[in-house]
Amino acid sequence: MSELQLGLLGIGALVVAGVLIYNKLQEARLRRQSEAAFGSRHDDVLLRGKAASRRPAAAERIEPTLSAPPGESAVAACTLDPGIDFIVNLDTQVAVAGEAISTAIVDSLSSPAKAVGWEGYNRQTASWEPLAASGEYGRLRAGLQLADRKGAASEQDLSDFSVMVQAVAEAIAATTSSADPAGALQQAQKLDALCADVDVQIGLNLAARSGTIAGTRIRALAEAHGLRLEEDGRFCRRDESGLELYSLCNSEPQAFSAEAMKTLTTKGMTLLFDVARVPGGLATFDRFVEFVRALADALSAGIVDDNRQPLDDGGLRKIRDQLQALYAGMEQEGIPAGSPLALRLFS
Domain harbouring 279, CATH code: 3.30.1400.10
Q: Are residues 191 and 231 in the same domain?
A: no
Question: What's the pLDDT at 93?
Answer: 94
* Same domain, yes or no: 191 and 205: no
Q: Phi/psi of residue 71, each to 5°? A: 85, 0
Q: Does residue 16 form part of some domain?
A: no
Residue 46 within a domain: no
Helix axes 181-198, 155-171, angle to 10 degrees: 130
- For the chain, the domain total comes to 2
Residues 192 and 91 in one domain: yes
On whether both 130 and 182 belong to a single domain, the answer is: yes
Same domain, 258 and 341: yes
Tell which wins on pLDDT, 113 or 10: 113
pLDDT-above-90 percentage for the chain: 69
Query: Contact, 160 vs 111, CB < 8 A?
Result: yes
Whether residue 238 is contained in a domain is answered as: yes
Does 205 score more than 50 pLDDT?
A: yes
Give pLDDT, residue 75.
36
The phi, psi pair for 12, rounded to 5°, reads: -60, -40
Does residue 265 belong to any structural domain of this protein? yes
Residue 297 CB contacts under 8 Å (≥ 6 apart), including other chains: none
What does the pLDDT read at residue 170? Answer: 95
d(CA 64, CA 118): 8
* pTM: predicted TM-score of the whole model, two decimal places: 0.73
Q: Is 131 a residue whose pLDDT tops 70?
A: yes
What whole-number distance in Å separates Cα of residue 276 and Cα of residue 154? 23
Residue 87 included in any domain: yes
Task: Say whether both 189 and 320 belong to one domain.
Answer: no
On whether both 205 and 333 belong to a single domain, the answer is yes
Examine the domain organization and report whether 132 and 263 are in the same domain: no
Is residue 114 within 8 Å of 148, Cβ to Cβ?
yes
CA 113 to chain centre: 16
Of 163, 179, 196, the last residue of a domain is 196
Calculate ∠ Cα 292-296-298, nearest 5°: 120
Q: How confident is the model at residue 287 (pLDDT cuts 50, 70, 90)?
A: very high
For 30-87, write each residue's pLDDT tens digit.
344 333 333 333 333 355 555 444 433 333 434 444 444 333 333 334 589 999 999 9
Q: Does residue 317 sit within a domain?
A: yes
Domain boundary among 128, 163, 196: 196
Same domain, 165 and 247: no
The pLDDT of residue 308 is 86
The confidence score (pLDDT) of residue 251 equals 94
Please say if the pLDDT value at position 25 is more than 80.
Answer: no
User: In this structure, are 206 and 341 located in the same domain?
Assistant: yes
- Of 79 and 145, the structure prediction assigns the larger pLDDT to 145
- Is residue 59 situated within a structural domain? no
Opening angle at CA 200, ends 326 and 54, nearest 5:
120
Whether 47 is in a domain gets the answer no
CATH number at residue 128: 3.30.1400
pLDDT at 191: 94
Q: What pLDDT does residue 33 have?
A: 38
Residues 206, 316 share a domain = yes
Pick the more confident residue, 223 or 26: 223
Mean pLDDT of 185-191: 96
Domain that holds residue 168: 73-196
pLDDT tens by residue, 219-258: 999 999 999 999 999 999 999 999 999 999 999 999 999 9
Which of 196, 213, 248 terminates a domain? The answer is 196
Percent of the chain with pLDDT over 70: 77
Whether residues 285 and 339 share a domain: the answer is yes
